[in-house]
Structure 1
Amino acid sequence: MKNIIEIDTEKAVLAFDPEIGMFRGEFIGLNGSADFYAESVQSLIEEGRKSLAVFLDMCREKNIEPHRSFSGKFNVRLEPRDHAAAVFAAAAEGKSLNEWVSDTIKVAAAA
């Protein structure tokens, strides 16, 4: 089960906060914080829409790009044994380590 929903084309991660007894959502592809809380899933979606609208309005007013940009590059630190295992797995599939990691992430992120 993935705790991600899409609200007005933006993806948000959902969680339940037992300390306050509410669901929490946070948009993950934005240039700033736009989180929202509610006691039911339907209310959470409604609050998400409101939070997103406020965030996007503020970005327009301040002439700020609302979406984060991603370079396509990131560093991963692994235990040497895990690094070796990944190299062997990539070679077994006839791929470079970069291709293998990229393909593995695509599969895991789509599930």
Structure 2
Amino acid sequence: MNIMTLGKYKAKIEYDAETDMFRGEILGLNGGADFYGRTPDELRREFSKSLEVFLEVCREKGISPRRSYSGKFNLSIPPELHERLAAVAEANGKSLSLLAREILQKFAQQAR
């Protein structure tokens, strides 16, 4: 995963063959903010500029720039996987929710 970080903000970086440039999309915002660059340094500069513009618009409109999260989401999985995970959780003296949280936390740490 190609993630670039600027302070507490993260952006997903992908190559755009149409423009022959790299495109960044700032993640977790209440709106869209993207930027382009040919080099890592240019991407960082454009990330900063794009974020500044987005934050200024949010201040002007009086809205929070970051999307808020409740900490809850629904997950649909095959019944067989549900059964296996429930057994693993029970065998380890954990709730299924705690087991899923631990697995997701490990994945999120690897994706930094």
Give your verdict on TM over 0.5: yes
The offset of 1:81, in angstroms, is 1.4
Q: Which residue of 1 aligns with 2:31?
A: 32
Count how many residue pairs are aligned between Structure 1 and Structure 2.
Answer: 110
5+ residue gaps in structure 1? Answer: none
Q: Which residue of 2 aligns with 1:104?
A: 103
User: Which amino acid counterpart does residue 45 of structure 2 have in structure 1?
Assistant: E
Contact 1:30–1:66 under 8 Å retained in 2: yes
The offset of 1:67, in angstroms, is 0.8
1:92 aligns with 2:105: no
Q: Which residue of 1 aligns with 2:69?
A: 70
Q: Deviations over 1:30-61 (max 9, x none)?
A: 11101111111211111000000000000001
Q: After the TM superposition, which of the residue ranges 17-26 and 46-55 deviates more from structure 2?
A: 17-26
Contact 1:4–1:12 under 8 Å retained in 2: yes
Distance in 2 separating the partners of 1:22 and 1:64: 31
Q: After the TM superposition, which of the residue ranges 32-41 and 52-61 deviates more from structure 2?
A: 32-41
1:14 aligns with 2:21: no
Q: TM-score, normalised by structure 1?
A: 0.91
Two-structure CA RMSD over aligned residues (Å) = 1.2
CA separation of 1:17/1:89 partners in 2, compared to 1, >3 Å: closer, same or farther?
farther
Q: TM-score, normalised by structure 2?
A: 0.90
5+ residue gaps in structure 2? Answer: none
Q: Deviations over 1:74-103 (max 9, x none)?
A: 001111112112212222322111001111
Percent identity between matched residues is 45
The offset of 1:7, in angstroms, is 1.0
Deviating above 6 A after TM superposition, structure 1's stretches of 4 or more consecutive aligned residues are none
Contact 1:13–1:27 under 8 Å retained in 2: yes
